Amino acid sequence: MIGRSEDYVERLKGYRRTIYVAGKRIENWIEHPNIRPVINAIAKTYDLAQNFAVFSDLVGEKVNVLNAVIRSQEDLIKRYDFQRELSLKLATCNYRCTGCDAINSLYPVTKMIDERNGSDYHKRFIEFLKEIQKRDLVCTSALTDVKGDRSKRPLQQEDMFVRVVRKDEKGIYVSGAKVHQSGAFAADVNFVLPTQTFREGEEKFAIAFASLPEDNVKFVLQNTGVQAKFREGGSFEMGNPKFGDRTTCMVIFKETFIPWERVFVFEDLKATRDLLTLFACSHRCVGASCKAGFMDSMAGAASLMLKVNGLENVPALRQKVAEIVAFSEAAHAIAIGGAVKGYKIADSWQPSREIANSAKIVGIEGFMKSIANLIDIAGGIPATSPSEFDLKGEIGEEVKKFMQGSEKFSAEDRMKVIKFVEFWVMSSHLVGAFHGGGSPSAALIFLQFLADLKEREKAVCDLLDIKS
């Protein structure tokens, strides 16, 4: 079943959450100007999901692809198509993609754990997942530990990593903090996964579990310029007024109790390694479609910008728009290629690891050039424009007069497009594109180990009659 956005928002009202924004714990968190856009974005994932539903044999009906175990190329392509559409229509994070990555990592990993150990993690996970699928719950995940001093190992600074501090019959108690977490404060379920592999002796960090609204957790929101703008209000000054910029948080656990039913990896170094590989590749591949959708939005903004300025017939500028489209189409195509060249593991279909990592490396280049092209097309005005408040304030008449471009658009419409471009080129998008799912450098290191150089070397040796 595909859920309804109203039900999601209704559910949120029942969650008492400890959320800090700009130094204060906020009360009516659902309506807070930095959180409402996140909820709007997530709500939209319900409204658009119908076309992308896939059948789940776990619950015997069609479910939201964002909560599905991906079993085939086709389903994975469906996921990527949905992701691209969401990115285009939201112009920000949909917040549920990491949930899907977590589901598609935990599903095979728990199966493999049980096959090794005869345990029942997989069954436990499936029970939990069925509930998610039936109710179309919103899932996110949290990976990156705060890490402290990067030159130290975890045991030298335990506080800097989420870890088991105690366990009993009913469950485990965890402490630590995750950063870079997108949207968990507005989700139903937050999967907590390890940030890195660990060595022998570091088992306490090698855990994965699900956190629910009832858990003792604190969220501290990021604070960027866009967030500050949202707190000041207005109807379009913040660029993407309905859905905002990707909003992340720090998630703090302090002896937080997690019942065994929600613990899916427990002090297991091998499972942690597998989980990380699966999650990273899953996220990097879908990331290409995500960025494709963002670049689609930039292409739309660029094209509109030409029109509001009366420049839509200048070939050199139209060509720069076309180049953004090229980067977008290529990025999505890479993800599709990753889906097709994927592999089956423990009843799940995973994208090609080589392509997933390559997507990151090639994708970021296109993303930067798209931003550069958008800036080039838009001119300096996204950085220097007066505000919506000026347009509507004491000086409004003159601002309106002087911000007018093509007669086909009102000055207000022109300013909306300008502020939207500002949002693309002066917000967290570039940083997000670099580091979401790990940096290009990380992808390159990964690829160093994945790449089948032997076969490539052999082909060269055959050409040259080298026998070594």
| Of residues 173, 196, 191, the one with CA closest to residue 251 | 191
Rounded to whole angstroms, the Cα distance separating 143 from 208 reads 10
DSSP H/E element including 389? helix 388-392
Minimum separation from the CB atom of position 115 to its own copies (A): 30
Nearer Cβ to its own copies, position 2 or 250? 250
| The pair of three-digit structure tokens given for residue 147, joined into one six-digit string | 């890490």
Nearer Cβ to its own copies, position 344 or 466? 466
Rounded to whole angstroms, the Cα distance separating 399 from 419 reads 15
Cβ atoms within 10 Å, residue 401: 9
Rounded to whole angstroms, the Cα distance separating 226 from 378 reads 19
Residue type, 73: Q
Minimum separation from the CB atom of position 27 to its own copies (A): 13
Compute φ and ψ for 467, nearest 5 degrees.
Answer: -120, 95
Nearer Cβ to its own copies, position 8 or 424? 424
Minimum separation from the CB atom of position 245 to its own copies (A): 9
Nearer Cβ to its own copies, position 105 or 358? 358
Nearer Cβ to its own copies, position 30 or 447? 447
Measured between alpha carbons, how far is residue 294 from residues 47, 137, 141, 271, 367 in Å?
Answer: 19, 25, 21, 33, 9
List all residues 6 or more positions away from 443 whose beta carbon is below 8 Å from its beta carbon.
284, 357, 358, 360, 361
Minimum separation from the CB atom of position 335 to its own copies (A): 7
Characterize 319-345 residue by residue with b for buried, 16 or more Cβ atoms within 10 angstroms of its Cβ, and e for exposed: ebbebbbebbebbbebbbbbbeebeee
Nearer Cβ to its own copies, position 29 or 236? 236
Minimum separation from the CB atom of position 200 to its own copies (A): 23
Query: Is the CB of residue 424 less than 8 Å from the CB of residue 297?
Result: yes
Minimum separation from the CB atom of position 345 to its own copies (A): 19
Query: Helix, strand, coil: what percent of the chain each, to 5?
Result: 55, 15, 30
Query: Is the CB of residue 89 less than 8 Å from the CB of residue 44?
Result: yes
Nearer Cβ to its own copies, position 90 or 174? 90
Query: Is the CB of residue 75 less than 8 Å from the CB of residue 349?
Result: yes
Nearer Cβ to its own copies, position 115 or 444? 444
Measured between alpha carbons, how far is residue 369 from residues 286, 306, 321, 373, 423 in Å?
Answer: 20, 18, 11, 6, 16
Nearer Cβ to its own copies, position 10 or 365? 365
Rounded to whole angstroms, the Cα distance separating 372 from 156 reads 43
Minimum separation from the CB atom of position 158 to its own copies (A): 12
Nearer Cβ to its own copies, position 1 or 447? 447
Minimum separation from the CB atom of position 2 to its own copies (A): 21
Strands 139-142 and 189-192: parallel
The tokens 């502020």 sit on which residue?
419
Minimum separation from the CB atom of position 13 to its own copies (A): 24
| The pair of three-digit structure tokens given for residue 282, joined into one six-digit string | 């899953």
Minimum separation from the CB atom of position 94 to its own copies (A): 14
Nearer Cβ to its own copies, position 119 or 439? 439
| The pair of three-digit structure tokens given for residue 301, joined into one six-digit string | 């903004």
List all residues 6 or more positions away from 322 whose beta carbon is below 8 Å from its beta carbon.
none
Minimum separation from the CB atom of position 435 to its own copies (A): 4
Measured between alpha carbons, how far is residue 30 from residues 204, 237, 396 in Å?
Answer: 35, 21, 33
